[in-house]
Amino acid sequence: MPIKKWGQLLLWGILSSASCAQENPFGQNLQINTRLTSIVGKPTWLLMIREVETGLVSPYIFDIKNNDNFWIAFTWGHSYRITASTLQFGPYAVIKNFCRLESGILSGESMVITLKGKLTPYRGSSQCFVQKYKNSSFPIVTGTST
């Protein structure tokens, strides 16, 4: 195949993928920051996100090993529901609906979740700050330590 044809195919591929991205833009995001003073045990945070339009379920598992962490959970649509937010310290120490994120369908809203304090099996030892905002772009917000 001549080079001109390869160039035309490459250009067509770039243009068609760009138009697909405009028709189906990237969904919302959940930015998670931890600013912990201490951690008891080896907690694991399970976050399950269900896309309302497609039914697609995306599981995210975060092993909390450090006091300061930064994670991103992406959605693939604009309407989603957090079906599970479970913090598990072992087989018996489990906090369900951690950070109270299981609260219905969110449409066009991204979140910044900041977790502070001592992370223990007792729900009251840490604090979750959840900020929701209507924006489908992907800003990265970095907190400053005080």
1 is a domain residue: no
- pTM, two decimals, is 0.73
Phi, psi of 92 (to 5 degrees): -115, -25
54 is a domain residue: yes
12 is a domain residue: no
What angle (nearest 5°) sits at the alpha carbon of residue 48, between those of residues 131 and 31?
Answer: 30
Q: Which CATH number goes with the domain that contains 60?
A: 2.60.40
For 123, the domain range is 24-133
How far apart are alpha carbons 34 and 23 in whole angstroms?
34
- Mean pLDDT of residues grouped by 10 in the chain (146 residues)? 47 41 64 96 95 93 95 90 94 93 90 96 93 69 54
What is the structure's pLDDT at 78? 86
19 is a domain residue: no
Overall number of domains in the chain: 1
143 is a domain residue: no
16 is a domain residue: no
Tokens of 25: 């833009």
β partners of residue 86: 46
What is the structure's pLDDT at 88? 96
How far apart are alpha carbons 95 and 40 in whole angstroms?
14
Q: Measure CA 117 to chain center.
A: 21
39 is a domain residue: yes
- pLDDT tens-digit readout, 114-123: 999 999 999 8
What is the structure's pLDDT at 116? 97
Check the CA dihedral 114-63-72-66 and report its sign: positive
